[in-house]
Amino acid sequence: MATILSAAGCVDRTMPVADLPEIDTSNPLLGEWTDPYATPPFDRIAISDYEPAFDAAIAVSRAELAAIVDNPAKPTFYNTIVALERQGALLERIEGVFFNLLSAETSDELQEIARRVQPKLVELSNDVRLNPVLFERVKAVYEHPGWGLTKEDKILLEDTYKGFVRGGAALSDADKELYRQYTTELSQSTLQFGQNVLASTNAFTLNITDPAVVAELPGFVKEGMAAEAKSRGQKGWTVTLQYPSYLPFMTYSTNRELKEKLWTARSQIALGGEWDNMPVVRRIVDLRLKVARLLGYDTYSAYVLEERMAKNPATVNAFLQELLDATKRFADRDVQTIRDFAASKGFEGELMPWDMTYYSEQYKNATYSLTDEMVKPYFELESVKKGVFLLANKLYGLNFTPNPAIPVYHPDVTAYDVTDEKGRMMAVLYLDFFPRASKRAGAWMTEYRGMKTVDGVETRPLVSLVMNFTKPTEATPSLLTFDEVETFLHEFGHSLHGMLAEGVYGSQTGTSVRHDFVELPSQIMENWATEKEYLDLWAVHYQTGEKMPSELIDRIVDAGNFQAAYMNVRQLSFAMLDMAWHSLTEPFEGDAIAFEKQAVKPAQVLPVVEGTAMTPSFSHIFAGGYASGYYGYKWAEVLDADAFSLFKEKGIFNREVASSFRENVLSKGSTDDPMVLYVKFRGHEPQTRALIDRMGLEE
């Protein structure tokens, strides 16, 4: 063992030395990653490498943990807390690759490996949290931390101790066994939920062979449908439930029968049939309630929210109600406006959910003289990418250089070196844009590796953005809708949070923050999408190279709050459904569809369609990390509305404001309370009114 004296004095930095098992370094997941940035060697990894790598890395982690537990020395911050933080690095590396690909480039084989590996990972996690000797060492340091600890050290100590307690360490032996059982079953159930959603989504296609049905559609829609059909060996034109395929058809087609069929299919994903998620949902919410009760909480929401900015369910429910009360009548007015418009165009009967997208597009076109078809030629993907990179450069001095030497996991993926204005290497960024059957729906940012500093040596992050944008066709490049441009900016904001991370401990850097704070860096970026000064720098026609006309930009700005109240209430309904499922105080035995209907009833603005439900495909809360946290999107909108107002006041490219946002938010991770960080940037706490005002709602 080596002891290092700190500059502050004689702080014992002795670290336990583990007797590590031998590992097969010929396995590319276990061997050294030799390129300059130590990126995953995707070109050498085979599916057969994963399971042996997991087993070996788990064995290494157990040896590292044994060295901490068996250490005869008195527990100290370094030989216990820091040692725990650093152990498991090899396993973390493998998990970073495997679970990211499980979402972005999955296969039946990967999913089967996940089903076998997941229980082993949960068992390891439980063996850590539920080890009484290890907990006693952590508790001893927590109660007598000694001196010389930095602020980051103290936060790590607090988080570690809380993590053990919230992970069952203080339970009786009998309850620890129950905790093991519940969390193991829970991990399997959430995994199954996501796999069911993917399988159910991929199982439905709508193939059209009659040219008359597609004749009215814009060229880009028909081309995309034709390309989809061709890729499946079908004739004619095909629509799937993947959003880039589904949404254009719903937006431009007048065929109510087919749109009803599509909308219904999307609203019945994993509802009944071979991939029915309703039994899985019941199992998940019941297991979560059991875990919460074991740990002394009345509900799962109470357990989760204790570690969020909101602190408790009462605060979240009051927040949602405040926004609902302020915007519901405006949302009803938004829908009535579309009803009236549809009637003026000869529509008869009740406006149904599958009609809303088409008539909203027609109304927007008539009111603002703005359609997706008008803006898409100026949002060619390469131009948008340049625009996003340009914004990062103007705000934070970042530069992005493609690096073809870095291996990628699919031909669609491109890797970039990210450097700052002084040439410092900040990160590697992977971009993966287009839908495929092996990729789940949606858009997300993730990391193969986060930022940390070990013994003075800094490790920079490997960040990935995965999206599902409209595919290019043989005749047309990928042209994005305005919504897709906003999505790009949103996810890129998450990537900035990762790429600009600074700090010592990986558990505190980058996006490792409270869930109702993590969306601030992403959602603030969406504000630039309607800024004329920004669009004028890069939005050019993909064929002529001409800049987007000023009058078209003006229309985008004018339409910026189109249906803002309607979309707000829609998001509130999702958050209310999340809170309802996780505020249960008894095992759920009722009708899940009826439960959902009752939960979202206060926010209902369109007719209810019997036999449909969002719950069985609500991956954010049942297969992701947003259980009792979906409200965080609206919470962060309040933060970002208030935060962006400072950019509006000082200038949307103001480097002083950007530097402050970087220093106090993007680079800080969880090294301080999020409200403290926000106030340091903004000068005051955020007010809900900022979001309501931004929507431009008037009586």
Q: Is the pLDDT of residue 6 over 90?
A: no
Dmax (CA) for the chain in angstroms is 83
Residue 84 makes CB contacts below 8 A (sequence gap 6+) with 68, 128, 134, 138, 160
This prediction has a pTM of 0.86
pLDDT of 687: 84
pLDDT of residue 14: 82
Of 149, 170, 191, which one is at a domain's C-terminal end?
A: 170
Residue 418, classed as helix, strand or coil, is strand
Looking at the structure, do residues 492 and 406 belong to the same domain, yes or no?
A: yes
Are 530 and 407 members of one domain?
A: yes
User: Can you give the pLDDT at residue 624?
Assistant: 86
Give the pLDDT score at 465: 98
Task: List, for residues 471-516, the tens digit of each pLDDT value.
Answer: 888 889 999 999 999 999 999 999 999 999 999 999 999 999 998 8
Tokens linked to 507? 């558990």
Residues 535 and 672 in one domain: yes
Within this chain, do residues 89 and 236 fall inside the same structural domain, yes or no?
no
Assess if residue 448 is contained within a domain.
yes
Whether the per-residue pLDDT at 1 is higher than 60: the answer is no
Residue 432, domain CATH: 1.10.1370.40
5 has pLDDT over 60: no
pLDDT confidence band for 15 (50 / 70 / 90):
confident
Position 143 in a domain = yes
The predicted structure's pLDDT at residue 2 = 32
| Residue 313 pLDDT > 50 | yes
Residue 432 lies in a domain: yes
DSSP category for residue 456: T
Whether 685 is covered by a domain: the verdict is yes
Name the domain count of the chain.
3
SS3 assignment, position 210: coil
Residue 650 resides in a domain:
yes
Torsion of CA 563, 534, 413, 100, to 10 degrees: -60
Instruction: Tell me the pLDDT band of 9, cut-offs 50, 70 and 90.
Output: very low
Q: State the Cα–Cα distance between residues 120 and 123, nearest whole angstrom.
A: 5
Confidence bin at 244 (pLDDT 50/70/90): confident
Within a domain: residue 690? yes
The per-residue pLDDT for range 386-432, each reduced to its tens digit, is 999 999 999 999 999 999 999 999 999 999 999 999 999 999 999 99
Q: Among 681, 665, 669, which Cα is nearest to 504's?
A: 669
Domain co-membership, 473 together with 387: yes
Q: What is the mean pLDDT of the chain?
A: 94
Helices vs strands, H then E, count in the chain = 28, 9
Q: To the nearest whole percent, how much of the chain has pLDDT over 90? A: 90
| Domain's final residue, options 266, 285, 303 | 266
**In a shared domain, residues 104 and 210:** no
Mean pLDDT of 522-533: 95
Q: Is 228 a catalytic residue?
A: no
Q: What is the DSSP letter of 77?
A: I
Q: What is the mean pLDDT of residues 617-638?
A: 94
In a shared domain, residues 471 and 427: yes
Which among 151, 172, 153, 149 is positioned nearest to 161, based on CA atoms?
A: 153
533 pLDDT higher than 80: yes
Catalytic residue among 85, 105, 380, 491: 491
For residue 7, what pLDDT is reported?
A: 33
pLDDT tens-place string over residues 321-374: 999 999 999 999 999 999 999 999 999 999 999 999 999 999 999 999 988 889
Answer yes or no: do 437 and 552 share one domain.
Answer: yes
The CATH number covering residue 163 comes to: 1.20.1050
Is 166 domain-assigned?
yes
Closest C-alpha among 429, 389, 426 to residue 408:
429
Same domain, 136 and 253: no
Q: What is the pLDDT of residue 699?
A: 65
Which pLDDT score is estimated for 11?
Answer: 60
- Boundary of a domain, candidates 242, 266, 290: 266
- 37-93, pLDDT tens digit by residue? 999 999 999 999 999 999 999 999 999 999 999 999 999 999 999 999 999 999 999
Rounded distance between C-alpha atoms, residue 435 and residue 379, angstroms:
18
- State which residues form the domain around 53: 47-170
What is the tens place of the pLDDT at every residue in 28-50? 999 999 889 999 999 999 999 99
d(CA 197, CA 640): 31
Is residue 355 a part of any domain in this protein? Answer: no
* Number of neighbours of residue 295 by Cβ within 10 angstroms: 19
Confidence of residue 10 (pLDDT cuts 50, 70, 90): very low
CA-nearest of 98, 114, 82, 91 to 20 is 91
SS (H, E, C) 631-648: CHHHHHHHHHHHHHHHHH
Same domain, residue pair 100 and 247: no
Same domain membership, residue 644 and residue 532? yes
Same domain, 557 and 645: yes
